[in-house]
Structure 1
């Protein structure tokens, strides 16, 4: 009995003296010339009946018991056994008239030995051997079969069951007496077990664990890629593997960043020097001003009237002082002198307030806040915010770094700044300070990181927004992304469970 490859369809070929099956991995001997082949209808019906009994079982073990029970129901079969070949090992699933509670007993071990002997030769092995029509006997190794026959007596037949060129299980049949299995019985058993292998494979795959099923699907996908029509897929997968290897192994710059804004290195808040009303606004936000340039004028009518009132009182007190000196009234002269001093102090205060009524720029700057052009005549109180100025010759960058990444940022680290208005330009920055306190912004805790521009461009303006990236080291991008995701998961776990 020689080994043969599985075919696409099951068919009997009496002229060639050979039975072809896509499922059973063995070659039957040439049938005896005087014995006609069994009808195909009976073989198909028996195969379908056995197939239905297997699928009716809920587990692989239950299906194996149903199979051996169906085979052992024939009067000529004393015992039927089936073993599963999986991951290079063979184990008994079921056996009629045999207790498998002790697999180390002699009979189960002999059964497994005979089954493995047939598996190793990848063909059916019978003892006594089947004699072909030409009188020849296949040259097979039957050492384990002889040991099993000496133990149980009678005839022994082991039939490997396979599908897609792979052996899945082995069926062992035992018979009393000296009469062995003939070629006709070989062909009938092969037709009966035709659908057993696919049914057992489906049941076996259904009971496997998820990781074994995933591994099986992966191997099937890898085998499918070997087909000529999968050349484009293989190239894409190869390119993806190269890209993945690059992301996992190439040590690139590891950056953390966040939203950033440009501020002047020095800012000045201008407030109302006294109570009054807005008269004129000379500038608006975005205007550049020189030191001493007028910014805002307050109405001064009330102060002028107050100045005139105190000036008249000062003249009266001076006249009273001169009259008291002419009368030699020292008390009246002293009183008039005190009132003169009071009037002079009030006039000096009003003069200072008139001077402050015009707010001027303390240095060369840019107006970044305070549009009073729509508030002419509006009342203001002393100390109210009116305008904010920022220097234009030096700037600082304030970046908002998330709390997950702030631990990697340190003073002296470099980075880049991309402004929303000029996204194609990258400006080099250097961290100068990390704020030790966090603040909540849009539901996140962020830390403000201050940095300086190494080469500030001429078109830079305070108030511009963008994104800053700080280089905190060198790591492969894949591990950097996975580490960042792990940090977020750890923080979420801590927030949820405490």
Structure 2
């Protein structure tokens, strides 16, 4: 309203009230819509005629592209889905006005206000109010109701009706003087004195401002000074508070404003003053809360309702001015509290709830990432190992015909593990036995013929055959490969060995003793500089992930080994701090985590990506 010329606006309002819209309806509705938009702080406005008898049917009034002053008229854009509109119109026709609030997530949420106009054919005024003006909806509703009777096409029954309206609107002429008064006290004096001087229906006027929980009298017309603790002044303040507490106009001579309301203070003040009528009007601030009240008194006769309506309208226009002046006069601390309250209302209010929740969650996460702490643990793969192992090799060439144990089996000392094919060795023994028999016969024959040389030759050949038989017999015994000690087979699958041809010296199985088990870790080269002797951590086996085992770093092998696609790794030997279990086996694998204290979460979660980025950007 600060950019609106008040005198020009009042003149337009008076002229529009005198016009009959049937003479030039397009221009009349253009003026009416533009005035309604400015007066009611609306983003858009339009007038609809109700044409249906049973089901509500709306017909938009034809509005000129420009009003009578040449100002363009912006058409009101209705949402694509507005099933609520017919029901809103029905309620406005029944109650005088109705409201609807859009609540579409992550979109603008305007307020739609609908007002019944006082025309012979039912018509309604539809206003679109922006969400930022929701605190002033009460003020906007009052303003719209004050202009709802401008478009009145009913025949006049009293010749002086226009004069009454003009007399009521004449109160608006005092607004420039009030706007010109800079201090709040001077504006209040200008208001009460102008009301008494400009309106014959007002003999006395008083105004008070909200201070804390109470309203304190600011000024009374025709009184430069008054005693604040006087009984009459207390009655004024009680009446002003009575209207402000109920957020309503209280006019004693009109029961429509006092039905169901508390008017004890007003009745007591009327008796004390000896007047015939009085009324109290509330001034609402920019946030929709009462900031003060105005009391008007008529000693003889009744106050005209048109005067009350015009004064209500004028106060709604002046409310922003009064609120601004009141804020300027507040101390630094009160201004700080007010501004802080608005900021907090914006931050924690119900609007844009999920956006605020997401903002709080993201902000909390960012604060935790920067200022929080998280346990830093170096992760690596690990495996149970033991140095008490023995490799079982093939003692001769052959074919594995039976495998009596496989990986993971517990074996005893001298237990047969594999059996090699014996058929060739048995045939060799048979052949050697036949040759030994033949040489024995030759020896006997030579001895019978007393041939000493042939006897010795046959005897030597028999000894040679005996030696060969002993060697074959030993090889036959070695076809049953046994375990050198009690332990567990950690290498040598049955499916890989059964039926496989082997050569002497081939590795067949590995047997390990279940004792002196330690942990071997493979630490990535990017993390090896964090590991130190004596560091502790936990190791979770693949078979028992919920029962981690404590360990301590015992030795760091200073030579990297190829880790395949993962890059180079370093071997770490760690000592298990728990007693060995019967079910532990060398070769069991799992995941180890070495504790390195606490660090900032952002560094723990982003260090690898940061280092990788540095390598990519390095030249």
TM (norm. structure 2) is 0.41
Give 1 or 2 for the bigger CA radius of gyration. Answer: 2
Normalised TM-score (structure 1): 0.50
Question: Which of structures 1 and 2 has the larger relative contact order (alpha carbons within 8 angstroms, sep 6+)?
Answer: 1
